[in-house]
Chain A
């Protein structure tokens, strides 16, 4: 009877209470940050004595914050595009390939997911110092691409497994070249997979901190690094404003991803 909510008796209330507490624990800090970003107390008094937009003004009038946001956006966009392209090709090999060792290759491709990020970060830092690309745009993109790619491969190979290969073969029989068939028949059919791969890759890069700490230079910083650097000095409400914008973007992208999943089911 434990799997029927209405037959739990008084346990229902106990379970409901624990869930309410955990839900509050998960949700309230996020709402708290959003409220603080509109509060006019520099010392983060809560509830705030009044409401203001001055932290957002401060944020948008500081070129360093804007530069950091722009860098983050560029890095994340390039990572998303490359991650989808490499992820699509790799998924073709994993799903369609007939060579031996595909399971092994799949495991290998997913390895960066299980690697402690700090280990990868210092390893790449050493390599990039040696190659002379530490603190550059290319360095950022390569580092983020390594950790975004596994997520793209999972999303795209999942979509590709659900696509009937005989449709592609039919296109070839009707006179399409293999690449034409792949680009004009297969790609559009798995676009929800490609789309969610792009969104997840973008978000992974956009939110990434640890690799970025080692990749950043005084000239080139991403938004999380700007937040990280400011956080270590003081708890300024400007960070609350920046965090709120980060949360807003994440929610927007998650809703977008949820809609593409819905589109897939129909």
Chain B
């Protein structure tokens, strides 16, 4: 540390550094320490976590929901990101404003909207019944459908923006060349445009998957008890059961999964924008 501080300017970083060491690094370290010291020294919390069927189901469910949400988000986000680049300016501005507005609208407000829309007597069921698609109202909340709709809704901007960033940089003449060389539109899409989008798609997919893995609010409001996700389990272990050892172990598993995926992202596509 002394060698670093010898150079100029380090002092300016000290207040922020002190804050993060005291209220970020140390609390997290302490939590992880508790996972191997409470109730006794050793890895029994991890053994319980991986050895109990209920907890194993939570892990499986978390990865499954995150995966489903990521795939659907990608399928919806790609056309939007593409259109943002090529639409006439007036329309792309409107579309962009909608994406940004949705991203910054209060999370609880958006989740509340879906709780109301998807309830038994909600608008979605009314429309489905009005169109004759179903006779009786469908159960759309407190299950996988509710979580998926709510999470896709929240994750869309985080997938659209990185893909948009990459498509915007693509030189249009590359695609012109493809068509001059006789490529059909499908060939140009599959063999030129999509491969060029891979960095944006990779960072969007990883960001959405990682965020979905640790999501708490939406799953606990729109999901059912039979589809509990990891973040809810962690909160419940600590809040209701006051089991800091097991809660800390579950938190550590989530943390390792998150950091591993971010490390993968940095390996594949470099640091995310703004972090360089």
Contacts and interface: CB of A to CB of B under 8 A. Distances in A.
A98 B7 CA distance: 6
Nearest to B174: A3
Point out which of B27, B116, B176 has the most chain A C-beta atoms below 10 A from its C-beta: B27
A125 B188 CA distance: 53
Contacts of B79: 15, 18-19, 22
Contacts of B188: 1-2
A218 interface: no
B20 A108 contact: yes
A257 to B, nearest CB: 9
Given A97-B9, A243-B108, A118 B19 contact: no
Interface string B174-196: 01100100000100110011000
18 contacts: A2-B175, A19-B95, A27-B101, A30-B102, A30-B110, A86-B15, A105-B13, A119-B214, A120-B24, A123-B28, A126-B30, A126-B34, A203-B104, A224-B106, A224-B107, A227-B109, A243-B112, A243-B113
Nearest to B103: A26
Interface of A: 1-5, 8-9, 11, 15-16, 18-19, 22-23, 25-27, 29-30, 32-33, 36, 43-46, 85-87, 89-90, 92-94, 96-101, 105-112, 114-127, 142-143, 145-146, 149, 153-154, 158, 203, 207, 209-210, 213-214, 224, 227-228, 231-232, 235, 239-240, 243-244, 246-247, 250-251, 254
B231 A126 contact: no
Contacts of B247: 122
Contact of B85 (A3, A127, A209): A3
Contact of B105 (A16, A119, A122, A247): A247
Contact of B16 (A27, A109, A227): A109
Nearest to A44: B116
A240 B108 CA distance: 10
Given A3-B172, A22-B156, A143-B23, A116 B83 contact: no
B87 interface: yes
B264 interface: no
A59 B96 CA distance: 33
B82 interface: yes
Given A3-B175, A210-B216, A26 B156 contact: yes
B164 to A, nearest CB: 12
B159 to A, nearest CB: 11
Contacts of A85: 15
Nearest to A228: B108
B16 A250 contact: no
Nearest to A95: B9
- Of B20, B172, B247, which is in contact with the most chain A CB atoms at under 10 Å from its CB? B20
Contacts of A5: 86-88
A24 B238 CA distance: 39
Contacts of B98: 23, 26-27
Nearest to A251: B101
Given A22-B79, A105-B13, A110-B275, A100 B7 contact: yes
B47 interface: no
Contacts of A207: 106-107
A89 B12 contact: yes
A145 B20 CA distance: 9
A16 B231 CA distance: 37
Contact of B179 (A1, A115, A146): A1
B114 interface: yes
B112 A90 contact: no
Contacts of B248: 122
A103 B193 CA distance: 33
Given A29-B113, A106-B275, A122-B31, 9 more contacts: A4-B172, A19-B95, A22-B76, A89-B14, A97-B10, A99-B8, A119-B214, A145-B19, A254-B101
B7 A30 contact: no
Contact of B185 (A1, A23, A87, A149): A1
